[in-house]
Structure 1
Amino acid sequence: MDTYKTFTVKEATLKLMNYCAYQERCHQDVEQKLIELRMIPEARQQIIQKLLEDNFLNEERFAQSFARGKFRIKKWGKIRIQQELKRRNVSRFNIVSALKEIDETEYVETLDQLFIKRLDSLTEKNPQKLKKKIADYLLYRGWESHLIYEKLNTL
């Protein structure tokens, strides 16, 4: 006897509507969820089509929300946000649109705050090692190298 619960297309559609209503999702998340629900490819396609028609699934909205959230909450730079969106198979057009959600003034201020916070947390005396530690920290978070080096030159 099969212990896995099977879902009708209607049940799975409702489940995915709730999944998408709870938080913005990308196509990849939805596709993965449908695979977990053991839906056949035809049913997956039908459900995704319904989610798109009813605006539960909107990749541009997902990308914009993702970019705003990762920038404001995790303090990620544009490079890291872009990489993560690419990893989720978001289109180039939607990535560009998402990055426009980040206010330039706020972006520069956030970099300044991260820079100062990192500088204050380090006890390194060697100026070269200090600069490297700050640069590595900001590069890991996805900030553009030219912006980082401009900041480091002020030290």
Structure 2
Amino acid sequence: MHQKQKSYTVEEAKKKLEHYCAYQERCHKEVKQKLRDLNIIPEAADIIIVHLIQHNFLNEERFAKIFVRGKFNIKKWGRFRITQELKKKDISKININAALREISDDEYIEVFNALAEKKANTILETNILKKKKKLTAYLLYRGWESHLVYSKVNELIN
């Protein structure tokens, strides 16, 4: 049985997308996908996106900054992983760089050191090479720069 999908007027879709953006910071790519999911024609989608930008519901620079803060503070991701994830969301290089500048180098290293030390203490491996490999893999997966990772691993495990 085929369900007829609800169709929205531009005004209804605007309200729906205002709520979608107000609930959580969104990037343009997510908003475009949401409009496609609602079967909004491209011409109407463009009008809605312009409306959202003009009324400050949609702001890619603000999105990037909030994304960086969250992934850095909560998930303890490094710059490399954060950059990759923002690129997947089609965020411009300019906005990515502006957002990454929000993290001071001192804070960055402090978080990295704390994460590395905490993880090193939880790895129960007795074989030194295997323990180094596990810690290295963990930190690289989180997107920390390899030069930081290798020197920290060698400092912590010897």
TM-score (norm 2): 0.94
Kindly provide the CA deviation profile for residues 46-69 of structure 1, in whole angstroms up to 9, marking residues without a partner as x. 100111111111100000000000
Match of 2:9?
Answer: 8
Query: Which residue number corresponds to residue 146 of structure 2?
Result: 145
**What residue in structure 1 maps to residue 64 of structure 2?**
63
Q: Percent identity?
A: 55
Say yes or no: does 1:90 pair with 2:91: yes
**Partner-residue secondary structure (3-state), 1:154:** helix
Structure 2 match to 1:79? 80
- Give 1:95 deviation, angstroms: 0.5
The 1:2–1:128 alpha-carbon spacing in structure 2 relative to 1, beyond 3 Å, is closer
Q: 1:84 offset after TM fit, Å?
A: 0.3
Give the residue type in structure 1 aligned to 2:43: E
Moved over 6 A (4+): none
Equivalent position of 1:132 in the other structure:
133
State how far apart, in whole Å, the 1-side matches of 2:118 and 2:4 are. 53
Superposition RMSD in Å: 1.2
> How many residues in Structure 1 have an aligned counterpart in Structure 2?
155
Distance 2:149 2:87 in 1: 23
Provide the C-alpha distance between the structure 2 equivalents of 1:13 and 1:102, rounded to a whole number of angstroms.
34
Q: Distance in 1 between matches of 2:70 and 2:42?
A: 32
Secondary structure of the residue aligned to 1:153 is helix
Cα distance, 1:2 vs. partner? 5.9
* SS of corresponding position for 2:125: coil
Paired AA for residue 132 in structure 2:
K
Partner of 1:122: 123
Query: Distance in 1 between the 2:79 and 2:96 partners?
Result: 10
Give the match for residue 22 of structure 2: 21
What is the rounded CA distance, in whole Å, between the counterparts of 1:144 and 1:54 in structure 2?
38
Following superposition, the deviation at residue 32 of structure 1 comes to 0.5
- Structure 2 unmatched runs, 5+: none
Following superposition, the deviation at residue 103 of structure 1 comes to 2.3
CA distance in structure 1 between the partners assigned to 2:63 and 2:119 by the alignment: 31
What is the letter of the counterpart of residue 118 of structure 1? Answer: K
| 2:48 corresponding residue in structure 1 | 47
Deviation at 1:93, TM superposition (A): 0.3
Secondary structure in 1 aligned to 2:155? coil
Deviation at 1:111, TM superposition (A): 0.9
TM-score w.r.t. length of structure 1: 0.96
